[in-house]
Structure 1
Amino acid sequence: MSAAPPPSAPDVSLRSTDLDSRHAAMALGLSLPADVVLYLLLPMYAAQFGVSLAEVGLLLAANRLVRIAGYGWVARFYARHGDRASCTLAVVAAACCGLGYATLSGFWALLPLRLTWGLCFAALNLSTQALATADPIGAARRSGRSRAFIATGPVLALPLGALMAYTVGPRAIFGVLAVVSLLALFVTRRLPSTPHHSAAPKRRFQRPNALDGWSFMEGLALDGLFIVGLSYLGKDLLPGGAVLVAGVLLALRYLAEIFLGPVGGRMAEHFGAERLLVSLSLVTALALVGFGLGWLWSCAALIVVLRALQLPLLPPIVARRTPGPERVRALAARAVWRDIGAGAGPLLAGVLLPIASPPWIYGTAALLLAAAALACVRRASPPIPIQENIAP
């Protein structure tokens, strides 16, 4: 019987890319829970953290706002030092942030932690996207699987955080999650250490394109207004067990990423990432309208599903439109626009939810999201061909 032929060089390269992408996603998945649990608990337990609702909005926005100014610096550091050094430093700093959430109170004590976490997330998120799109073949598939690994940590931490908040208070969970963050050091040591060559930008500020507009509105509506609104409005609907219901629903948001992120990546390879992005965004806009009209839990569940399908779509679109050395910089630029929107979302929620009608708030957000999605129609491109015989 003849021996099986050795794997070809392209197959070995794709397997290596798959493993690198998986390790980066695991590092982010282990570091992320303290941040997502803070989004759940801070609006409901603002007094126990020594902050007002308006300050809650500022704190939840701060980690994204700092990335608007800091993503360029993070991208340069990442390009110069590579994935291993950048992600290791980010993981250690993320653990320090979790410990601070467990022990510190007051706006000025928590603000430096939120700013630090913002830069940590920028490095970890950039690594996951850059490694997932390092080879254009299978980029959408890797991006979807990456989202599944990232979501594993939050899907376990959110119900645990809600249960601990309900029984022993909202602070203890963050000490546990700080230790969990340090476990990511076991995977960051397996990341590649080679630097990423990146071309110098032609100019510092560029006119936003259609994808920038969509990224901004997606961040504003789904990572800002929706998340804060779910905790704030749910507290009024279920005053006794709101933290448990909201925690489970937010956990389902990440559970949906585990199961539907890979589905979204495969759908993008079959139907085209841009076309799928536009279609799903329009349905999301309708769900936002229902959320504002009072169908809180049912529309929130639908938004969770739609968001999970959309998350893997942007990196392969960016990689296709910006190949070569500019890819890392382009991925960072799109992330900045999403962060601008997601940073403005909690600020708007903190100001508008106590004084404005939810149908008006979420109806306006839905209209703007639909307009941003339709602006991407002209940019649609054919599907990515599927590469067979790739290691899972």
Structure 2
Amino acid sequence: MPTAPAPTDLNSRRAAIALALALPADTVLYLLLPMHAAQFGLSLAEAGLLLAANRLVRIAGYGWVARFYARRGDRPVCTLAVAAAALCALGYALLSGFWALVPLRLLWGLCFAALNLSTQALATADPVGAAHRSGRSRAFIAMGPVLALPLGALLAQATGPRPIFFVLAAVALLGLAVARQLPSLPHPVAAPARRFRRPGSLDAWSFMEGLTLDGLFIVGLSYLGRDLLPGGAVVVAGLLMALRYLAEILLSPVGGRLADKLGAERLLVILSLVTALALVGFGAGWLWSCAAAIVVLRALQLPLLPPIVMRRTPGPARVQALAARAVWRDIGAGTGPLLAGLLLPLAPPLWLYGIPALLLALAALACGRTPAPAPSLLATPPGKRSP
């Protein structure tokens, strides 16, 4: 007879489901806004700024979110974030114009920061099986976008880009029932530290991972493959975006199990080196084979960082350290599209992808050699109770 899941596993699963229900409005907006900017009262440039706004506010606000989350606990913070995410989706359906929509994008950025931090903190609350839990968590999170993107594309093709967000607002509200079952005790936090310190090896790897896989690769795939994709129809684009999340569902749990067996640091180094080779091949012209390899490797790597952070910064510093790594990934992911937009028309793709691939490999090797990271970027006040 199957045994009931442990409380740590159950809490991790619930936080992931809450994020999975809140996330589709954002991912579908990434699909529809560039294609239908005029129907939202935007220019294409304004649409690009709106899509970047949620990441920019996370870079600036992750420290505040981490402190608020640690003080309040998972249940109230995730409940508030899910309700705000539903409000953002409703706004996408009703409001037009840059200045009407940008507050919603900033609000969603803070909501995602809180929900993402909760999924990572709860997955690593128990060192035993943390990598496996982190992989399962990524799989649950990806289920929302992988279903919403193709369905949203079909509905947008039939009715226009607005009505789907009414549906996604209702979907986000379903997350309230899950968020209300999360633990409510606050998390312990570390004593205050100097706010800015030299980045450590995990910071460098997080930055390069965001720069290459969430920035340069995504933009380059669209730019370099534009002549090979059929027509750029919204349904085709939705299916292509959904494939990345499908890879997370299928492969992130595998990455977590491998990390528990082989060691997360060792696996991070191996997968990052192979990813660097795939990026070089991508820049050299083996577009689709290397793109498929990169999608697989990215999904396998996603669950690795939280358990590494947990082991290197145990105790009250864990929540702060998880938030710091997320900031560095967001900085890289925000820089990547800017570099791609500036350099893809000018520089040979082999150089554009080969140099960041080398830097990613060096950052991964540094992670494998470094026994403990230097804390960076964020400071947190002292706390009193543990969950």
So what's the TM-score if we normalise by structure 1? 0.87
Give the SS at the match of 1:191: coil
1:85 maps to amino acid: P
Cα distance in 2 for residues equivalent to 1:353 and 1:106: 30
2:302 matched to 1:308?
no
Greater shift after overlay, 81-90 or 155-164?
155-164
Is contact 1:224–1:346 with CA below 8 Å preserved after alignment?
yes
Deviates more, 1:272-281 or 1:168-177: 168-177
Q: CA RMSD in A?
A: 2.4
Count the aligned residue pairs. 371
Identify which range, 109-118 or 220-229, moves more after superposition. Answer: 220-229
The answer as to whether partners of 2:12 and 2:122 remain within 8 angstroms in 1 is: yes
Amino acid at match of 1:306: L
Q: Does 1:15 align with 2:6?
A: yes
Give the alignment partner of residue 281 of structure 1, picking from 272, 279, 300.
Answer: 272
In the aligned structure 2, how far is the partner of 1:56 from the partner of 1:296? 27
What SS does structure 2 have at the residue aligned with 1:184?
helix
- Which deviates more, 200-209 or 144-153? 200-209
- State yes or no: 1:323 paired with 2:314: yes
Kindly indicate whether the alpha-carbon contact (under 8 Å) linking 1:142 and 1:265 is maintained by their aligned counterparts in 2. yes
- Which deviates more from structure 2 when the two are superposed, residues 51-60 or residues 202-211? 51-60
Say whether 1:369 aligns with 2:360: yes
1:229-251 residue CA offsets vs partner (Å, 9 max, x unmatched): 44455544335244333322221
CA distance in 1, matches of 2:337, 2:94: 23
Q: Does 1:207 align with 2:198?
A: yes
Partner Cα distance (1:51, 1:349) in 2: 23
In structure 2, the residue matched to 1:386 is none
Q: Which amino acid aligns with 2:183?
A: P
Deviations 1:25-63, CA, capped at 9 Å, x for gaps: 100111111112222333344444444444444322221
Hey, what does 2:238 align to over in structure 1?
A: 247
Is the aligned partner of 1:191 residue 2:182?
A: yes
Shift of 1:158: 1.3
Q: Which amino acid aligns with 2:311?
A: R
Q: What's the counterpart of residue 40 of structure 1?
A: 31
Q: CA deviation at 1:341?
A: 1.1
Are 1:131 and 2:131 an aligned pair?
Answer: no
Confirm or deny that 1:80 pairs with 2:71: yes
Structure 2 counterpart of 1:384: none
> Is 2:209–2:329's contact at 8 Å kept on the other side of the alignment?
yes
Aligned: 1:67 with 2:63:
no
Change over 3 Å in CA distance of 1:43–1:347 after alignment to 2:
farther
Residues 343/162 of structure 1: CA separation in 2 closer, same or farther (3 Å cut): same
Within a 5 Å distance, the mapping from 1:20-35 to structure 2 comes to: 20-35=11-26
Structure 1 residue 344 corresponds to structure 2 residue 335: yes
Give, in angstroms, the shift of residue 207 of structure 1.
1.1
Question: Which amino acid counterpart does residue 215 of structure 1 have in structure 2?
Answer: S
Give a deviation string over 1:318-355, Cα, whole Å, max 9, x none.
00001111111111111111111112223334444566
Matched with 1:8 is: none
Q: Is the 8 A contact 1:261 1:311 kept in 2?
A: yes
CA distance in 2, matches of 1:229, 1:44: 18
C-alpha displacement at 1:69, in angstroms? 1.5
**Measured at CA, do residues 85 and 119 of structure 1 come closer, stay the same or move farther in structure 2, by a change above 3 Å?**
same
- State which drifts further: 41-50 or 77-86: 41-50
**Corresponding letter in the other structure for 1:275:** R
Which has the higher mean CA deviation after the structures are superposed, 226-235 or 99-108? 226-235
1:148 to 139, 146, 158: 139
Which SS does the other structure have where 1:237 is aligned?
coil
Cα 1:281–1:45 shift into 2, 3 Å: farther
Q: Aligned equivalents of 1:254 and 1:111: distance in 2?
A: 26
Q: CA separation of 1:43/1:52 partners in 2, compared to 1, >3 Å: closer, same or farther?
A: same
Q: Distance in 2 between matches of 1:342 and 1:198?
A: 27
| CA shift for structure 1 position 23 | 0.4
- TM-superposed deviation, 1:219: 1.1
Give 5+ residue unaligned stretches, structure 2: 373-387
Distance 1:233 1:105 in 2: 32
- Superposed CA deviations along residues 171-227 of structure 1, whole A, max 9, x for unmatched, are 332222121111101100100011112122221112110110010111122222323
How far, CA to CA, are the matches of 1:352 and 1:165 in structure 2? 33
Single out whichever of 257-266 and 280-289 deviates more from structure 2: 280-289
Residues 94-109 of structure 1: pairs in structure 2 closer than 5 A: 94-109=85-100
Code of the residue aligned with 2:165 in structure 1: it is: F
Counterpart residue type for residue 102 of structure 1? A
Query: Which residue identity is paired with 1:210?
Result: S
Q: Which TM-score applies when normalising by structure 2?
A: 0.88
1:263 aligned residue:
254
Checking the alignment, whether the CA contact within 8 Å between 1:53 and 1:350 is kept in structure 2 is no
Question: Secondary structure at 2:73's aligned position in 1?
Answer: helix
| 1:226 equivalent in structure 2 | 217
Whether the 8 Å contact between 1:60 and 1:343 is mirrored in structure 2 is no
**Cα 1:95–1:349 shift into 2, 3 Å:** farther
User: Distance in 2 between the 1:26 and 1:142 partners?
Assistant: 13
Give the superposition deviation at 1:155.
Answer: 0.7
| CA positional deviation for 1:76 | 1.1
In the alignment, is the contact (CA less than 8 A) between 1:273 and 1:313 conserved in 2?
yes
Distance 1:80 1:243 in 2: 43
Whole-Å separation in 2 of the counterparts to 1:303 and 1:112: 34
Q: CA deviation at 1:83?
A: 0.3
